[in-house]
Amino acid sequence: MKDFFSKLLNGMSIGIVVSLIPNALLGEILKLIIPHAPYLQHVLDATVIIMSMLPVLIGVMVGITFNLTPIQTASIGIAAVVGSGAIQKTADGIFALNGIGIVINTGITAALAVLFVKWIGTRLKAYSILLMPTLSILIPGMIGLAILPYIKAATGLVGVGVANVTSMQPIVMGAIIAVVFCLIILSPISTVGVATVIMLSGVGSGAANLGICAAGVGLAIASYKANSLDTALAHVLGSPKIQMRNFFMKPKIAFPMLITAAILGALAGVFHIQGTPYSAGFGLSGLVGPLNFIHLAEGGWTAKNIAIMLSTFFILPVVLNLGLIYVFSRKLKMIKSEDYRLNFE
């Protein structure tokens, strides 16, 4: 079970990063440029479409991590799409993209599909290419679709919990929300999904964004020695979710980031750092968090706001994580570089 869970999370992590990185890197920057270069709207639209391909990418990458055959891998991909909720049928009978779907249900459906295709094995023989895709839709796909409303509701409970925290005073609220989102970004739950469901905005969104920032920067620093530079930067430019497998295996690897998140979240309450439901899900990816803060801050691009942005989104995450990683690795001996090793091959 441990090996199964590990492979599942690893495949999900890769699928999530591959589908979300293009929009995370280019989205906010393109929005600034498009008024002067309208033809780039097609590029922005393409990145949004790719985000909606997340379910099929999760299914395919899960199939690859389990070393399944091409037919089995493709079957898991289509089953994952059915159970994801990423495509909905409108009242006019038109099928429309519906964001990235419910990530955790996509993972559950992919897991069921893996068990299903492994159970079938070679029983279908020459008929595999005809029957396996169809059976994957009819059994694991339909099970995933049937449980989708319940998983969506359960995921929404996480959002309700976060919403209740927002009723507290800003500093305490900021610290708690930042820690919560630091944990969510390391889980199969979509931070964007949670933030959107509860329409998390204002200081709550800013704190959540800083929590994700703390996770990304901290994991990039902690994983640098165990991975290549580009993989380390993927935690910041892409998503900290690539450490999801390691986090579930050894939760203690996130201790420095969680403390950093609490401090930064408290500062969100002090400096009234705001954001939107979208910025609450991406942290520094594509500079979504910092740019949204500047856009919403009173006065916009003032020297004060720029100083707050640079210190909270860039300087403090590095300084705090460096100090805490040193304490937890050298003094307390609780973590080591190898705990953060990633293998995408």
Strand partners, 275: 202
pLDDT for position 229: 86
- With contact defined as beta carbons under 8 Å apart, do 96 and 88 qualify? yes
- With contact defined as beta carbons under 8 Å apart, do 198 and 158 qualify? no
Q: Give CA–CA dist 110/141, Å, rounded.
A: 8
Task: Please tell me the least confidently modeled range out of 36-40, 138-142, 195-199, 316-320.
Answer: 195-199
Percent above pLDDT 90 for the chain:
53
- With contact defined as beta carbons under 8 Å apart, do 205 and 277 qualify? yes
pLDDT tens for each residue of 238-274: 788 889 889 999 999 999 999 999 999 999 999 999 8
pTM of the model: 0.72
**Can you tell me the mean pLDDT for 134-144?**
95
Confidence of residue 98 (pLDDT cuts 50, 70, 90): confident
pLDDT for position 305: 95
Closest CA to 179 of 192, 167, 162: 162
Confidence of residue 193 (pLDDT cuts 50, 70, 90): low
pLDDT for position 134: 93
The helix/strand/coil state of 50 is: helix
Confidence of residue 197 (pLDDT cuts 50, 70, 90): low
Closest CA to 309 of 284, 276, 277, 280: 284
Contacts of 194 (CB under 8 A, 6+ apart): 155, 158, 159, 162, 181, 184, 200, 281
pLDDT over threshold 60, residue 345? no
The dihedral through the CA atoms of 72, 74, 77, 79 has a sign that is negative
- With contact defined as beta carbons under 8 Å apart, do 232 and 220 qualify? yes
Confidence of residue 329 (pLDDT cuts 50, 70, 90): very high
pLDDT tens for each residue of 201-230: 788 889 999 999 999 999 999 998 888 888
pLDDT for position 327: 96
Q: Which residue has the tokens 């059976």?
A: 135
Question: Would you state the structure tokens that stand for residue 269, as one six-digit string?
Answer: 């309450």
Q: What letter would DSSP give residue 187?
A: S
The angle at the Cα of 203, spanning 210 to 328, to the nearest 5 degrees, equals 30
pLDDT for position 159: 67
The average confidence (pLDDT) of the chain is 88
For 89, left (φ over 0), alpha (ψ -120 to 50), or beta?
A: beta
pLDDT over threshold 90, residue 109? yes
